[in-house]
Amino acid sequence: MTDAQDDSMLATDKVKTEMINPKLRTKLSEYGRRSRTDGPYRDNLECEALVVGGGFAGVFMFWSLKQQGLDVIMYEAGTDLGGTWRWNCYPGAMVDSEVPEYQLSIPEVMKEYAFSSE
């Protein structure tokens, strides 16, 4: 990719980025569109696995890879874990599918919390 093409992509991506809630924008998302030869995160990426996103799937993947003994790094755009269920909080809202289909299936978590059938 030429510098002109890279600059063009940055301009296009900037428009898309500006439409995103500023709370969700991070230095990581800004860096993700640039060349990987420099930047604040280049030296921190020495790992065996990189998980992007801290929702149900990302947290489970991180846990699963750690259980296998891998050196894992997780990047989350938000300020905390939870993905969609962290950012879309509605009073009384619950997961809209059967628990076995959509849950954080980590045994330690299941022991700590009491889940009702409702």
Residue 16 pLDDT: 46
Residue 47 pLDDT: 80
Instruction: Say if CB 39 and CB 30 are below 8 A apart.
Output: no
With a cut of 70, list the residues of the chain below it in pLDDT: 1-45, 89-105, 109-118
Closest among 3, 32, 2, 7 to 17, alpha carbons compared: 32
For the chain, give every domain's residue range. 1-42, 46-118
Q: Within its chain, how far is the Cα of 27 from the centroid?
A: 14
Note the pTM of the prediction, 2 decimals.
0.52
Residue type (1 letter), 20: I
Residue 92 pLDDT: 67
Residue 80 pLDDT: 76
Closest among 22, 19, 47, 42 to 32, alpha carbons compared: 42
Tokens of 87: 């950012």
